[in-house]
Amino acid sequence: MVSFMYTIKAPVGLHARHAGLLVRETKKYRSAVTVSCGGRAVDGKRILNLMGLGVRQGDLLKITVEGEDEDLALQELKAFFFANF
């Protein structure tokens, strides 16, 4: 299991379009992806779960990846977050 922290910089937080992009990205990997914010953790491969977190600008997320391709997924998800949020 590997993880990283990321503070949301996007003024709109994690809205529907961004959540959809994130789900598309996480589904590329066989590993489980968990997104945590404010004491809640959800499946990063489910858009409604991500939207339910209510992530806003300035919120700190913890992204955890666990599975057979976790190292690759972690590196690519980090790059995705820095490019999109």
Given the residues 9, 15, 27, 30, the one annotated as active site: 15
Mean pLDDT of 35-52: 97
3-state secondary structure the chain: CEEEEEECCCCCCCCHHHHHHHHHHHCCCCCEEEEEECCEEEECCCHHHHHHCCCCCCCEEEEEEECCCHHHHHHHHHHHHHHHC
The pTM of this model reads: 0.93
- 84 pLDDT above the threshold of 90: no
Q: Is 15 a catalytic residue?
A: yes
Per-residue pLDDT reduced to its tens digit, 71-80: 999 999 999 9
pLDDT for 16: 92
Mean pLDDT of 64-74: 97
Domain boundaries, the chain: 2-84
Per-residue pLDDT reduced to its tens digit, 7-43: 999 899 998 999 999 999 999 999 999 999 999 999 9
The class of domain 2-84 in CATH terms is alpha beta
